[in-house]
Chains A and B, each alone.
Chain A
Amino acid sequence: MIVSKFIPQTEGWGEDVATWFNILAAFAFVLGGGNLLKLHLQKISSKVTGWGYSVIILVSFIATLVIGLGKFGIHPSAEYPNVAWSGPTQPEGSAFGWVYEYLLQPLTATMFAMLAFYIASAAFRAFRAKNFEAFLLLATAFIILLGRTIAGVFITSWIPPNSPFAFLRLEELSVYIMQIFNTAGNRAIMIGIALGIASTSLKILLGIDRSYLGSSED
């Protein structure tokens, strides 16, 4: 895959490797599914605390699997009209599409929506002005938050946009902080990450670090 970056004729190699990985991962899903069944059946069998949740998981798992594999409500594709299961997996109006649209998506959206509350509680804790650095963080966050709201624009609207002090307008300050300080910090982290990835990859390729395989011994 490294070579394919430099030699155009080998560009397809990376895609081939990725395809092979996807095939392996598909087989591994059977392993994961088997493990899920085993674990929750054990929980139900030994009636550990919360075993009822395991029942719900197993019922949902099996029901979704049957609906998905059975392709209920799916018509054959136009290309192969005589092959019963040739239609797409998840078209609108199919049973599997219904499960996705009306069960999975709302549940996922609910979990995602909770993030707003978690951000509020984390911000409340992070922005306490315990020391000078924390005060700087708080002040910067305050400028950014205000600069991105109508209130922030309104507060400093008395500064003429064409005057030499226009940069003090909160929306301008907010953009400046994000573009200069934030970008600089982000890039510094990104450079460190890139070097770390290169070094780690090299260690793995050379077999210097094999702890992820369960052993660092020779």
Chain B
Amino acid sequence: MILLQLDTPHKLPALLATISMVLAGCGSSDREISRSSGSDMQVQALDAPFDGGGEIIVSWIEPMDAIDGLQVRFDGFDQSIVDGNMQDIIPLAPTFELEYDVASYQVWRSMTPDEVAMDNKQRRIAAASSAYDIAYENAYAELIQEGVAPLEAGNQASMEAREAADDAIASFKPRTPEPDGFHYTFVTAVPIDRASVMDAFGRGMRTVYGTNLAAQPAGADQQQEKESITNAVKESTGAGVDAAREVFSTHVNKLRVDKLHDADVKAAEAADAAWTAAFKKANDDGRTHQEAVEVADTASDAAFKSTMELYSYRFHVVALDDSGNQIFKSDSTTSIVATDSFFNGAQLPLLVIMLVLCGAVLYFIVMARKGRTLKVRPIAGLKAVDEAVGRATEMGRSVLFVPGIQDINDIQTIAGITVLSRVSKTAAEYDAKVEVPTARSLVMTAARETVQASYLSAGRPDSYNPDLIYYVTDEQFGYVAYLSGMMVREKPAACFYMGCFFAESLILAETGNSIGAIQIAGTAMPAQLPFFVAACDYTLIGEEFFAASAYLSGEADQLGSLKGQDVGKILVGIILLVGCILATIYSVTDSVAVGEIVEYIKNTILS
């Protein structure tokens, strides 16, 4: 077994680490940076920029003492590879183990006064509860042994247990704060970055290893070759350790601590409350308006400052060894607050996607206006609208249009009403009767406007009957009960279900099917689509439903928007493809860099 240790002066790495920590704070020059002092392990806390509020970035470099103690142990060779082709041995066969004092870090943060109070309360309750349980069990067992009846024993034991709980509460001592006067709470554990250190070690070692191997005598047998390689590895390991130490000393560990109080939001609320209270008091005291305002301003400023101080945080980092023992502990940073940022950077991918998608839609609308021909594939469900209304006209029966059970603020209801516009226009032309029972009053109003306009554009304003568009009930199954009854009694020849549906979808569609009506449905509720497909003649699935308006109107503007949607599909396709390829590469190679990209796509872009 070979242990290698090299003494490396750490001034340069420390300088590089400091530079990288400064760079970590770039782009946030107006933000507060809080640093620890007087410790080997430097920690800094920075209010996260573009975070949407409540996040602080804590960063720290490896303790210099630990870096000095970094060793890499050469464990020999993988036998199966040594016996194989010698060329394969060079990058893969030697096996090493990193020997480093630090196995992981723990990040701790100071608690706000609210949290300290809550923590004390919970611990007090836990102590009382524990004392109660123990006292009850002991007392109950003793009483039963003494021959007391179980019910009476229970009563007496609970009385004793209550006393024990009261004693526990009385003797409860709140947790003592740390020497700096603050209470700290554990945030999370961060493992050390072994992979990049071992990568650096391998790179550093191989440079020297190749030279050493070339110097070995040629024509040796397998045992001699193995010894040559072993010697080359031993001699080159020092260079690898150097490289590994450099990586460790320049590496900045980072942790984004979130879900913290937005100090400025809380401070603003407190300042408002303080201003109002102080102004009222000053008024009550008979001061002039000007004086009252000045007093209130002063009180407001004081409340703002004190609240900012209350909701500030301090951080320290603890380094642990493999057994979980503390080996280094940083000093705490000075206090820092998490403030609200102007822009939420986590939403940036969404903003980019939104801009690309909206840009594409607008571009194709402009293109369509300039006369570019756009082709839309036939949608059977929409082509059948005329057929359904015509059938109802021939049979002398009505057309039933159900615009879903959601209100007008739901985009599906709006899409449904755009289809109603076309259905009612066709009905007006054919002189058929369209009945629109609604589950929301605002939908009724909107539907009336739409149908009236359709009758007007069909040149038959006199045939419009507002009483055929009416409100039934907001209650989901009450609405279904009415519709089912009405369908069975009046037997409409055509039924349209266009909007947002839930459990009522199948009840409606099956009732319509049982009366032999031609049925066309459209919804963007994936769970209801199978029901409509099973029970209706035509179903507009998801995007077809939203394309209905453009398809039926045939207007260039609207068709352009459909083309823009296709660009969105291409974008989604590319992201899917790239994501799948990267995820596959990651699962095969286990590369940290690829893994991080996959995580970013999954957790940031897709979520």
Instruction: Name A residues whose Cβ lies closer than 8 Å to a Cβ of B.
Output: 2, 5-9, 21, 24-25, 28-33, 35-36, 39, 42, 49-50, 53, 104, 107-108, 111-112, 114-115, 118-119, 121-123, 125-126, 186, 189-193, 195-204, 206, 208-209, 211-216
Asked if B242 is at the interface (CB within 8 A of a chain A CB), the reply is: no
Give bound CA distance, A35 to B362, whole Å.
41
Instruction: For residue B165, give the distance in angstroms from its CB to the closest CB of chain A.
Output: 28
- Whether A191 lies near B569 (C-beta < 8 A) is yes
Give chain A residues whose Cβ lies under 8 Å from the Cβ of B442. 24-25, 28
- Whether B414 lies near A212 (C-beta < 8 A) is yes
Give chain A residues whose Cβ lies under 8 Å from the Cβ of B549. 200, 203, 209, 211
Q: Given contact pairs A9-B340, A29-B474, A107-B477, enumerate 12 new A-B contacts (beta carbons under 8 Å).
A: A5-B344, A8-B342, A28-B442, A104-B475, A111-B477, A111-B507, A115-B503, A118-B506, A121-B510, A189-B526, A196-B543, A214-B453
Interface of A is mostly: helix
Nearest first, the 7 closest Cβ-Cβ pairs linking A and B are: A196-B546, A32-B441, A214-B449, A192-B543, A214-B453, A32-B471, A28-B441
- Whether A209 lies near B418 (C-beta < 8 A) is yes
Residue of A nearest to B454 (CB): A214
Give bound CA distance, A177 to B147, whole Å.
63
Instruction: For residue A41, give the distance in angstroms from its CB to the closest CB of chain B.
Output: 12
- Whether B531 lies near A122 (C-beta < 8 A) is yes
Asked if B52 is at the interface (CB within 8 A of a chain A CB), the reply is: yes
- Whether A208 lies near B562 (C-beta < 8 A) is no
Give bound CA distance, A51 to B288, whole Å.
70
Residue of B nearest to A53 (CB): B485
| Contact among A36, A121, A193 for B524, CB-based, below 8 A | A193
- Whether A193 lies near B407 (C-beta < 8 A) is no
Instruction: For residue B57, give the distance in angstroms from its CB to the closest CB of chain A.
Output: 17
Give bound CA distance, A52 to B531, whole Å.
33
Stretch at the interface among B35-43, B209-217, B311-319, B550-558: B550-558
Task: Using known A-B contacts A5-B347, A25-B407, determine if residue A199 contacts B546 with beta carbons closer than 8 Å.
Answer: yes
Residue of B nearest to A186 (CB): B526
Q: Provide the B473-506 mask, 1 if CB < 8 A to any CB of A, else 0.
A: 1111110110001000100000000000001001
Residue of A nearest to B351 (CB): A6
Count chain B residues whose beta carbon lies closer than 8 angstroms to a beta carbon of A.
Answer: 83
16 A-B residue pairings within 8 Å (CB atoms): A7-B343, A29-B474, A39-B470, A112-B477, A189-B529, A195-B569, A197-B411, A198-B354, A198-B361, A199-B361, A202-B358, A209-B549, A213-B446, A213-B449, A214-B452, A216-B553
Give chain A residues whose Cβ lies under 8 Å from the Cβ of B444. 31-32, 35
Stretch at the interface among B127-135, B251-259, B378-386, B534-542: B534-542
Give bound CA distance, A212 to B553, whole Å.
12
Instruction: For residue A62, give the distance in angstroms from its CB to the closest CB of chain B.
Output: 14
Give chain B residues whose Cβ lies under 8 Å from the Cβ of A39. 467, 470
Instruction: For residue A131, give the distance in angstroms from its CB to the closest CB of chain B.
Output: 15
Give chain B residues whose Cβ lies under 8 Å from the Cβ of A212. 414, 417-418, 421, 446, 450
Give bound CA distance, A172 to B343, whole Å.
46
Give bound CA distance, A199 to B476, whole Å.
29
Give chain B residues whose Cβ lies under 8 Å from the Cβ of A119. 506, 531
- Whether A196 lies near B565 (C-beta < 8 A) is yes
Give bound CA distance, A199 to B342, whole Å.
27
- Whether A8 lies near B526 (C-beta < 8 A) is no
Instruction: For residue B511, give the distance in angstroms from its CB to the closest CB of chain A.
Output: 8
Give bound CA distance, A173 to B485, whole Å.
41
Interface of B is mostly: helix
Asked if B3 is at the interface (CB within 8 A of a chain A CB), the reply is: no
Give chain B residues whose Cβ lies under 8 Å from the Cβ of A8. 52-53, 340-342, 344
- How many residue pairs link A and B with beta carbons under 8 A? The number is 197
- Whether B526 lies near A199 (C-beta < 8 A) is no
Asked if B145 is at the interface (CB within 8 A of a chain A CB), the reply is: no
| Contact among B481, B542, B555 for A196, CB-based, below 8 A | B542
Instruction: For residue A117, give the distance in angstroms from its CB to the closest CB of chain B.
Output: 9
Instruction: For residue B47, give the distance in angstroms from its CB to the closest CB of chain A.
Output: 13
Give bound CA distance, A118 to B558, whole Å.
38
Give bound CA distance, A114 to B507, whole Å.
8
Task: Using known A-B contacts A25-B407, A108-B475, A122-B510, determine if residue A202 contacts B361 with beta carbons closer than 8 Å.
Answer: yes
- Whether A29 lies near B441 (C-beta < 8 A) is yes
Give bound CA distance, A6 to B362, whole Å.
21
Instruction: For residue B382, give the distance in angstroms from its CB to the closest CB of chain A.
Output: 14
Give chain B residues whose Cβ lies under 8 Å from the Cβ of A191. 569, 572
Give bound CA distance, A4 to B160, whole Å.
57
Asked if B409 is at the interface (CB within 8 A of a chain A CB), the reply is: yes
- Whether A35 lies near B470 (C-beta < 8 A) is yes
Instruction: For residue A125, give the distance in angstroms from its CB to the closest CB of chain B.
Output: 7
Instruction: For residue B249, give the distance in angstroms from its CB to the closest CB of chain A.
Output: 37
Asked if B440 is at the interface (CB within 8 A of a chain A CB), the reply is: yes
Give chain A residues whose Cβ lies under 8 Å from the Cβ of B446. 212-214
Instruction: For residue A78, give the distance in angstroms from its CB to the closest CB of chain B.
Output: 24
Give chain A residues whose Cβ lies under 8 Å from the Cβ of B477. 107-108, 111-112
- Whether B471 lies near A49 (C-beta < 8 A) is no
- Whether B358 lies near A200 (C-beta < 8 A) is no
Give bound CA distance, A212 to B421, whole Å.
7
Asked if B14 is at the interface (CB within 8 A of a chain A CB), the reply is: no
- Whether B565 lies near A195 (C-beta < 8 A) is yes
| Contact among A49, A122, A200, A214 for B506, CB-based, below 8 A | A122
Residue of A nearest to B508 (CB): A118
Residue of B nearest to A208 (CB): B557
Residue of A nearest to B341 (CB): A8
Give bound CA distance, A35 to B347, whole Å.
45
Give chain B residues whose Cβ lies under 8 Å from the Cβ of A126. 533-534
Give bound CA distance, A26 to B358, whole Å.
34
Instruction: For residue B128, give the distance in angstroms from its CB to the closest CB of chain A.
Output: 27
Asked if B561 is at the interface (CB within 8 A of a chain A CB), the reply is: yes
- Whether B417 lies near A6 (C-beta < 8 A) is no
Give chain B residues whose Cβ lies under 8 Å from the Cβ of A5. 344, 347, 350
- Whether A189 lies near B541 (C-beta < 8 A) is yes
Best-buried of A21, A50, A53, A202 by chain B (most CB within 10 Å)? A202
Residue of B nearest to A117 (CB): B510
Give bound CA distance, A40 to B471, whole Å.
11
- Whether A36 lies near B453 (C-beta < 8 A) is no
Give chain B residues whose Cβ lies under 8 Å from the Cβ of A121. 510
From 429 to 462 in chain B, residues with beta carbon under 8 angstroms from any chain A beta carbon are 440-442, 444-446, 449-454
Q: Provide the B325-359 mask, 1 if CB < 8 A to any CB of A, else 0.
A: 00000000000000011111001001100100110
- Whether A209 lies near B558 (C-beta < 8 A) is yes
- Whether B470 lies near A118 (C-beta < 8 A) is no
